[in-house]
Copies of this chain bind each other. A is one copy, B any other.
Amino acid sequence: MSTTGGKRIALGLDFGTESVRGLLVDLKGVELGSAVAGYKHGQITRTLPSNGQKLPPGFALQHPQDWLDSSAKVVRAALKKAGRTGGDVIGIGVDFTSCTMLPALRDGTPLCMLKGFQNQMYAWPKLWKHHGAITQTKKINRLARQRKEKWLKRYGGIIGLEWFFPKVLETLEEAPQVYDATEVWLEAGDWFVWQLVGTSLPLSRSTCQAGYKAMWHAVDGYPSRQFFSALHPKLADVVSQKMPGDPLAPGRSAGELCPAMAKKLGLLSGTAVSAAVIDAHAGVPGAGVAEPSTLVMVLGTSSCHMLNSRVEKVIPGVAGVVEGGILPSYFGYETGQAAVGDAFDWLRQTTNQSFSSLDKQAAALPPGAEGVRCMDWFNGCRTPLMDGSLTGAFTGLSLNHGPQHLYRSLLEASAFGLCWIVELLRAGGVPVRRFVATGGLPHHNPLLVQIYADVLGQRIIVHPSKQGPALGAAILGVLAAGKHASGFASASTAIHAMARAKEDDPHRRAIVVRPNRAAAKTYAKLYDRYRRLADVLAKDN
């Protein structure tokens, strides 16, 4: 691999639910070219592509060939737009939806690509949102509680329907022949990285995906053989026999691009490839955040609030603490709110208004929405109650309230939900000092960010990037390339150089939203009421 000073660039591949984005940036983080390509088969939710077989409700699969074909398209298109060649790329980073996972052979072949299994729906990759493992999730949670499994605490006392082992157990119970034929169970992000570096063993597994979705811990590893054995006799040795691989933090090198994939993507073999990362988590380096104690709030249809810290604390209600889960050398904390933009859009539809009208009228109301209070659990409560069955509410309604009161109270409830998470982390001994907002929402909704700042009583830096995860992935590619290739002495130097927003940076100007002291005072009282309402509604559920 040869690169020269100013020409060095990095590639971020951001695998979403419907499409993959390829982004090329230079080592200052300036975007040179990007492209997006949908997956030929999209989300497979109705019929199996091989034989048209109808899928049960809750099924959501993907086609592994789509990941390969669409990424080849976007890399070539981005290079063309940037006017560059593959030789300029010093590192590749991959972020992926998670837990999207699949059964494969030891040579990397997905089981669904074999003639004998192509018509077997359980052999296909399960998309993160696949909801086939309801009974299996209950079984795992029940057993873990009975056995007082230590790892359960790290996930707030409950593991999720969309995670790794529920999907494995679902396959074992529903299609044992698929489980038997599987040689390697792995995340799609890890599979793609494995494809990139050549499918030799042991493969590299992202600590991010393993830690947040497969109950892996840096010291304790996966759950014990005894646990798996009690869950299902055939599952006893799933880790040792069907999950080969070495845990590797995002930003560590998983290897070099192999000739076959280099050819397919139009890149040079030997290019550094980073271990994979979950898409949302890539938003942390993508927002220029390298230091501990900064909460990166990725605000979209739902919200994911992530934080790196030097301390490892088990906090009830915080879904995941993973060493090296977001960046090497830190404990990564993941928290979230299940309905944010989704809930705002629900309100817009339910009141038959436009956002511009709601925003304008709600902004004219005082803090507290003239008495209307809201509980933002329109899609359950993720952090801290971890209960998808919880529901939203409005109280304090009277005949003189209008849609704008409902809307403002919803924004405020969303802010109170965030405030609860921050209090929880701090009370658990994890410092939270700075706040960076990214994702689609903060750019469109300045009122929301102001209310967040007022409720937290802290300033919020809105990061200007609109493709944070892809930029984060590219930065991880740079880290994987190493100091020699990139010239960056440390991860934080690279992240700051390539993504940090500043108020005085014309290329990447941070919008800093400062709290209003009077509003903050009002909100402190309203926050207590929100918490009381949460108690009441959680009990009434």
Contacts and interface: CB of A to CB of B under 8 A. Distances in A.
Residue of A378, A396, A403, A529 with highest tally of chain B CB at under 10 A: A396
Contacts of A395: 375, 391-393, 395, 537, 540
Contacts of A397: 378, 391-394
A49 interface: no
Interface string A523-541: 0000001001100110010
A371 interface: yes
A398 B379 contact: yes
Interface string A395-410: 1111101110010000
B402 A349 contact: yes
A87 B398 CA distance: 51
Residue of A394, A399, A406, A540 with highest tally of chain B CB at under 10 A: A399
Nearest to A338: B399
Number of this chain's copies in the assembly equals 2
Contacts of A403: 350, 352
Contact of A406 (B350, B352, B375, B379): B350
B406 A391 contact: no
A133 interface: no
A342 B397 CA distance: 13
A353 interface: yes
A53 interface: no
A371 to B, nearest CB: 7
Contacts of A378: 397-399
Contacts of A536: 536, 540
A418 interface: no
A403 B537 CA distance: 21
A375 B373 CA distance: 14
Interface string A363-381: 0000000010001001100
Interface string A497-537: 00000000000000000000000000000000100110011
A3 interface: no
A351 interface: yes
A342 B399 contact: yes
A282 interface: no
A163 to B, nearest CB: 22
A357 to B, nearest CB: 11
A378 B398 CA distance: 4
Contacts of A406: 350
A351 to B, nearest CB: 6
A402 B350 contact: yes
A401 B346 CA distance: 8
A267 B276 CA distance: 95
A395 B397 CA distance: 12
A529 B540 CA distance: 8
A294 to B, nearest CB: 30
Contacts of A402: 349-350
A533 B339 CA distance: 24
Given A393-B394, A398-B391, A533-B540, A352 B349 contact: no
A369 to B, nearest CB: 12
Contacts of A351: 350-352
Interface string A155-171: 00000000000000000
B399 A343 contact: yes
A396 B398 contact: no
Nearest to A372: B391
Contacts of A346: 399, 401
Contacts of A371: 391
Interface of A: 339, 342-343, 346, 349-353, 371, 375, 378-379, 391-399, 401-403, 406, 529, 532-533, 536-537, 540
13 contacts: A349-B402, A350-B351, A350-B406, A351-B352, A352-B353, A371-B391, A391-B395, A391-B398, A392-B398, A393-B393, A393-B395, A394-B397, A395-B395
Given A349-B402, A536-B536, 4 more contacts: A342-B399, A350-B402, A391-B397, A393-B395
